[in-house]
Amino acid sequence: MSITVDDTTQATFEFEPYRSLDDRTLTERIQAVRKRMGRRLLILGHHYQRDEVIGLADLRGDSYKLSALAAENGDCRAIAFCGVHFMAETADILANRPRRVAERGGERVTVILPDMAAGCSMADMADLDQVEDCWEQLSEVIDTEDLMPVTYVNSAASLKAFCGRRGGIVCTSSNARSVLEWAFARRRRVLFFPDQHLGRNTALDMGIRLDAMPVWNPHADWLGGNTPEAIRQSRVILWQGHCSVHQVFRPEHVQRFRQQYPGIKILVHPECMMEVVAQADVKGSTAAIIKAVEQAPPGTRWAIGTELHLVNRLKQEHPEQEIHFLSPVVCMCATMYRIDLAHLCWALENLAAGTPVGVIRVDDQTAHYALEALQRMLEVK
Ligand code: SF4
């Protein structure tokens, strides 16, 4: 299986000259492409994007919402995904599923990632070879017919396809609990990758004990560093992956805010470690974090543990509330930050010229099986 990515050698416009353009010029030129392409172009912006990029997005959201929007949109013929690589892959799979392509008379939606270096460090912590090797080792100790593979949406298309082939499913931070319930209704155990924290926090909420959640180290020689007994006793096997952004929030940051501001509400994403999540007042997906702030009464004081751009945007959009960033250390999604106005303008002008760059196209076989796992995800609310 492979992921096909068109190269940029045929680009009409080289990137270098775009670097020296100021934001105003770039914005005007991006708007000109939007006007010219109209409803045929959809710019999607993830909440962690910089402000100047998110301001140009037709739709903004988290992975779940953007995936669903890409699945439903009937008008667009091109998607510029201002997010990271796995999100653009998901958009390609959903927007170009066979039924949709047939409805468009065979026409595909071109999905572009304005900077191909915008990856996700968490997604990179699990690759197909490692997961296949894990599955094979597990089959020597437990019955893998009774093991459900569940991948967080923050993963390569090849891993979604791995799940799809085995009756497995994709989850998001919004529906992780429903997905685990779905999985346990069908099988006795779950292999959850690549984010150990989302898996652990969700399983703990469901009453699963920590000692039934061994962590699989993909670099260990045998059984991910676990004993056969620990694997046999397991309910959820957690892949040893994490988000480098959410990993920086520590329990001592929560304690410091509580001491300094009695009554403050701590609001965190479930990609944070369990010691942080356990002390939070509210935990939830990006969408849930935004909703919690939107619905809080004026004067509410928050310390929020999620990506910096989103927290800063919440601060700007909710001046009636007092919002702090939970960590003393700046932590933003550095890869998502690579999508800037220069890359967006360059990608859109090449798209409009008929020579798209940064095209993300998942090969048909991978897309077929990944779609099975994604469709299950979209059905589990
Ligand atoms: S915030 Fe973390 S999980 Fe999300 S895209 Fe960035 S590195 Fe990946």
pLDDT in tens, 75-117: 899 999 999 999 999 999 999 999 999 999 999 999 999 999 9
- The class (CATH top level) of 246-325 is alpha beta
Asked if 347 and 114 count as a contact pair (C-beta separation under 8 A), the reply is yes
State the distance from the centre of ligand 1 to the C-alpha of 321, rounded, in angstroms: 26
Residue range 330-368, pLDDT digits in tens: 888 999 999 999 999 999 999 999 999 999 999 999 999
Q: How far is CA 50 from CA 27, 105, 159, 174, 251, in A?
A: 14, 36, 28, 22, 27
- Across 308-327, average pLDDT: 96
**What mean pLDDT is reported for the chain?**
94
Question: CB–CB of 169/155 below 8 Å?
Answer: no
pLDDT at 2: 39
Q: Enumerate the domain spans of the chain.
A: 3-118+336-368, 123-239, 246-325
**Residue 9 — pLDDT band, cuts 50, 70, 90?**
low
Which ranges of 10-150 does DSSP label H, i.e. alpha helix?
Answer: 23-37, 51-54, 63-72, 85-95, 98-103, 128-139
Q: Which of 240, 201, 200 is nearest to 224 (CA)?
A: 240
As a whole number of angstroms, the distance between CA 49 and CA 340 comes to 9
CATH number of the domain located at residue range(s) 123-239 in this protein: 3.40.50.10800
Decide if 100 contacts 75 (C-beta within 8 A): no
Average pLDDT estimate for 235-244:
98
- Tell me the CA–centroid distance for residue 38 and ligand 1, in Å: 30
List, for residues 155-167, the tens digit of each pLDDT value. Answer: 999 999 999 999 9
Say if 3-118+336-368 and 246-325 have the same CATH topology: yes
- How many angstroms from the chain centroid is the CA of residue 228? 32
Residue of 171, 286, 336, 339 with the most ligand 1 atoms within 8 Å of its CB, for mutation: 336
Strand pairing report for 3-5 and 360-362: antiparallel
The domain made up of 3-118+336-368 is a member of CATH 3.90.1150.10: no
Distance CA 319, CA 222 (A): 53
Tens digit of each residue's pLDDT (9 = 90 or more) over 251-280: 999 999 999 999 999 999 999 999 999 999
Q: Are strands 169-171 and 147-152 parallel, antiparallel or unpaired?
A: parallel
Q: How many CB atoms lie under 10 A from the CB of residue 3?
A: 16
For ligand 1, atom 6, name the residue with the nearest CA.
Answer: 333
Q: Whose CA is nearest to atom 5 of ligand 1?
A: 120
Residues 183-229 pLDDT 10s: 999 999 999 999 999 999 999 999 999 999 999 999 999 999 999 99
pLDDT of res. 7? 46
Q: Give the Cα separation of 364 and 201 in Å (integer).
A: 34
Atom 1 of ligand 1 has which residue's CA nearest to it?
A: 333
